[in-house]
Amino acid sequence: EQLYLNGDMSRGVLACVTCHGDGGNSTIPMNPNLAAMPHEYIAKQLRDFVPQGDKRAVRTGADGAPSIMSTIAPTLTPQDVQNVALYLSHQKMDWDKAGTATHEATMERGQTIWRAGIADRKVPACAACHSANGAGLPGEFPRLAGQHPEYLLEQLKLFRSGDRANDIMRDIADRMNDQDLAAVADYAAGL
Ligand code: HEM
Ligand code: HEM
């Protein structure tokens, strides 16, 4: 909690709260909401942002551009990662600040993909791994409910381009067109 709120200037660790909000409830569309995320997922992401020697980090922005998190994650010790991940996983969602669905017209399409996937393109149901209500699953399966829809759509595009390297999500995002990605990102945010 201390690190989340204040960072540690003596070690060059920035305060997370500035960008991710009180208890992880960010109000900025491209800054993910981190409250009540599975701690294993948060810890994995913090490792994935760290550049690997000469190689890029597992997780970058579009066209391999370093994520802002790639300057922050390397300043954290494994103990910091564990502490901050546990702190965030225990924070409550503030639903007044959470993301919501805004595109009425694509709601049905989003719901279908969420619950049943797209059979003829072999897209599995998102609910299988992110849970029916979007709360995520213990382990490395993130909560998507209440996330900012703009952020979710951006991540789906990063999986598809491989800038965020993840075999499962790359395969899934690759089988969907832009309209499907937008529909399901918006629907998931509103769960
Ligand atoms: C993403 C944690 C500080 C901006 C993330 C993610 C985590 C995280 C776990 C991935 C979330 C997900 O996959 O859903 C932290 C912690 C911090 C910190 C523990 C403090 C030690 C900051 C600061 C900023 C920031 C200070 C702004 C200057 C962002 C942005 C993303 C992000 C923009 C999305 C990045 C992308 O997709 O490439 N952060 N963060 N974070 N964080 Fe932080
Ligand atoms: C991550 C969406 C289906 C496993 C994510 C993220 C999004 C997403 C937006 C990133 C979240 C964040 O950055 O906070 C979806 C959608 C799906 C779907 C829309 C359905 C079309 C699945 C399925 C599985 C799965 C079926 C399991 C077989 C994962 C895992 C991660 C993830 C393991 C974390 C990846 C990492 O560590 O970087 N998903 N997902 N997802 N999803 Fe999915």
Q: Is 31 in the pocket of ligand 1 (CB under 6 A)?
A: yes
Spell out the domain ranges in the chain: 2-89, 104-189
Give 37's DSSP letter: -
Cα 129 from Cα 109, distance rounded (Å): 19
Check: complex ipTM more than 0.95: yes
Give 87-123 as a DSSP string. Answer: HHHTSPP-TTTS-----GGGHHHHHHHHHH-BGGGTB
Which atom, in ligand 1's list, is nearest to the CA of 46?
A: 9
Give yes or no for a contact between 159 and 170, defined as CB atoms under 8 angstroms apart.
yes
User: What is the pLDDT, as a whole number, of residue 25?
Assistant: 98
Please give the share of the chain, as a percent, with pLDDT higher than 70: 100
Domains 2-89 and 104-189 share a fold: yes
pLDDT, tens only, 99-147? 999 999 999 999 999 999 999 999 999 999 999 999 999 999 999 999 9
pLDDT, tens only, 29-47? 999 999 999 999 999 999 9
Which ligand neighbours the alpha carbon of 183 most closely?
A: 2
User: What is the pLDDT, as a whole number, of residue 102?
Assistant: 94
pLDDT, tens only, 56-73? 999 999 999 999 999 999
Question: What is the CA(42)–ligand 1 centre distance, in A?
Answer: 10
User: What is the pLDDT, as a whole number, of residue 53?
Assistant: 85
Q: Residue 54: is its pLDDT beyond 90?
A: no
Cα 130 from Cα 155, distance rounded (Å): 15
Which atom, in ligand 1's list, is nearest to the CA of 147?
A: 14
Phi/psi at 156 (5° precision): -60, -40
Does domain 2-89 match CATH 1.10.760.10? yes
Q: Is 84 in the pocket of ligand 1 (CB under 6 A)?
A: yes
- Specify the residue with its C-alpha closest to ligand 1, atom 9: 42
Mean pLDDT of the chain: 97
Q: Is 50 in the pocket of ligand 1 (CB under 6 A)?
A: no
- Specify the residue with its C-alpha closest to ligand 2, atom 10: 155
Place of tokens 């709601």: 107
Beta bridge partners of 164: 59
Does domain 104-189 match CATH 1.10.540.10? no
